[in-house]
Amino acid sequence: MDLMAPPDRRKFQVRCDAGSQGRFEVGTDTLSVRVGQRMRAGKEEEMWDSVHILCKEQSDGSLTVEVLVCHPDWEEPQTIAAIHSHPQDSDTAAPSLKCDLQLSGPGGLRRASGAQ
């Protein structure tokens, strides 16, 4: 029995542990998570969504998880990581997980060394 095999055909899963507020776990085909934190804007405190995690299937069947960071001074969120998998590629013994780990900019994400 393969303990790492998904028990169903879900494409993504999320596990959240919010301490005394509870836990949450779900498998799904698409996923969007926003993490907010308290910040000060002038004299007022507010909650700011500082991290977005976006998960979706691409047109070629690959799966992508993007991690974006947001700042009130920026016009757009910045992608800091894109993790790609090809679960449908059964003809390779290597893991099908590839990571792009550099900031997005005018040329978009650049592939981190060692990633394919």
Residues of 98-113 as b/e, b for ≥16 C-beta within 10 angstroms?
bebbbebeeeebeeee
Task: Kindly list the averaged pLDDT for each block of 10 residues, start to end, along the chain of length 116.
Answer: 60 92 91 94 91 94 93 90 86 77 58 40
Domain count, the chain: 1
Tell me, what's the pLDDT at 41?
84
Does any domain span residue 27?
A: no
- Host domain of residue 85: 53-116
Residue 36 CB coordination number (10 Å): 12
Does any domain span residue 76?
A: yes
Does any domain span residue 13?
A: no
pTM of the entire predicted model: 0.76
CA distance 32 to 109: 20
Does any domain span residue 66?
A: yes
Does any domain span residue 43?
A: no
Contact 81, 98 (CB under 8 A): no
In terms of Cα–Cα distance, which of 18, 89, 26, 83 is closest to 54? 83
Does any domain span residue 101?
A: yes
Tell me, what's the pLDDT at 115?
39
Handedness of CA 98, 55, 39, 70 (dihedral sign): positive
CA distance 70 to 60: 29
Tell me, what's the pLDDT at 104?
61
